[in-house]
Amino acid sequence: MRVSVDEATCVGHGRCYALAPEVYGADDFGHCEILVADGLVPAEAQHAARIGAEACPEHAITLEDHTS
């Protein structure tokens, strides 16, 4: 799974990183930043990544199935 955030859409509610701190973090302004390398979510964090993305009121987070 690959995760990305639309920085122009994120307003910094913080729900994503409150629910999935292993995937999402906050920049200096409280906006979402992706913590996993290259946006690739390891299998053990995929459930948390989905929960964090679904909690975003602006739908600024995109999850894509990814196979290497």
Q: Give mean pLDDT, residues 28-33.
A: 97
At residue 32, the pLDDT reads 98
CA distance 14 to 27: 10
At residue 67, the pLDDT reads 62
pTM beyond cutoff 0.95: no
* Ordered DSSP codes for 1-44: -EEEE-TTT-----HHHHH-TTTEEE-TTS-EEE-SGGGB--GG
Tokens of 38: 């290259």
Asked whether residue 68 carries a pLDDT value surpassing 80, the answer given is no
Model pLDDT for residues 43-65, shown as the tens digit of each residue: 999 999 999 999 999 999 999 99
At residue 66, the pLDDT reads 72
